[in-house]
Structure 1
């Protein structure tokens, strides 16, 4: 039985890779392009759903790169009006996170300015996992273990993955 204080907390759920995720991303990217317009520099599929075969939360992570912090701030209201839940600043001062829970799969969109370090690290991590299936398998096993260990604490789950992620980013950066 779930403790009452945990009833409203989202469970950390890891599911097997869904071959539909790339298509879901393309549809989401098209809707974001239509919503935010020609100011967009890039829309990237990041996170575990972007790595073929990798188990993941059923949640598509998307980075939307805009020309500047001012463009990011201007897009916040547009995202909110479109039904995205504003999750505030994440990672760096210039990164704004938004959730859309009413879609399947859910989507988490990050708006960030061009040249953003967090975005560059996400791309390095994603691309390294794609190019190194054994490392992706190790990450999948770690995520399964941590999802069980921190079933109702998403922040602790994320913190517990940090060393692995940071190590991969360093390897990926030195491999370039």
Structure 2
């Protein structure tokens, strides 16, 4: 299985380097170039890097590793190594797929003569972008895998409520005693409203940290656990890869964001003209940015803030009555 590694831990750094040296020595022999930079690294070098490391573990043994740098708009793959005793078992593919699930454009550089690696990357959707002559007997190839999510806004589907209920019941089973309530939120929860066809589910739980113990169960349902994902006190899960189908936003009961999500939803249900304006804005943005999710999201920001303020005022007046 794929695990997160801590290269700052000396013992783990030693394991990482052991696999790296074995894998890159094999590559050096394949391409006829013995001066590969990964072969010169030490345990200290591994420990001092700020790259994100993941590994493939089986029966307590580390068989392969990968590391990458996370940037705002892309991921840069720094290393991918599978111990020579465990090649041709799909380990490199699993490591790469774990990185691809981050859903950002990925770039990497490999030796042009490393045909097995290039074939693996091409199979995963990478394309060769440029060549760099380093020395007479070493040519590097830069490759990239673009992760542009298509922006799709469709008309309201009556099946969305059924899809929510079906997923709600599955989630309740895996969360168990930690469960308090599951809400259908977002645009797919507002009858008659156009939306991206993604079912947003808000979970209220007793202990947010307890959900971390359920990550393997979420994975079995097809979800990718992303931790807080930028919002303190939240646990976020998404399903469907590039064609996302479900988002789960989980909080402890009483968290401010629970009320924010529910009030936003309820206000749109109670104010059809504002719901219509919001839907029209989304249609316009989807048409203007069909393959630019970031611009689509940024374009919604102003109207979302307007509606959130209106929803807050509405809920306050409703409460005071």
- Common topology (TM > 0.5): yes
Residue 222 of structure 2 aligns with which residue?
83
Residue 266 of structure 2 aligns with which residue?
127
- 1:151 is the counterpart of 2:286: no
Residue 18 of structure 1 aligns with which residue?
157
- Change in Cα spacing, 1:165 to 1:6, as seen in structure 2 (3 Å) is farther
Of residues 176, 188, 191, the one that matches 1:37 is 176
Q: Unaligned 5+ residue runs, structure 2?
A: 1-126, 128-143, 316-321
Aligned mates of 1:6, 1:128 — CA distance in 2: 41
Q: Unaligned 5+ residue runs, structure 1?
A: none
| TM-score normalised by L of structure 2 | 0.50
Of residues 204, 213, 217, the one that matches 1:65 is 204
RMSD: 2.2
Q: Which structure carries more helix by proportion? A: 1
Equivalenced residue count is: 172
Deviations 1:109-138 (A, max 9, x none): 122222222222111111010011110000
Q: CA deviation at 1:156?
A: 2.6
- Kept in 1: contact 2:175–2:211 (CA 8 A): no
Runs of 4+ in structure 1 off by over 4 angstroms are 4-7
Of residues 37, 41, 47, the one that matches 2:186 is 47
Aligned with 2:228: secondary structure?
strand
Aligned mates of 2:250, 2:215 — CA distance in 1: 8
Deviations 1:119-161 (A, max 9, x none): 2211111101001111000000000111122222223322221
| TM-score normalised by L of structure 1 | 0.87
Q: Which structure carries more strand by proportion? A: 2
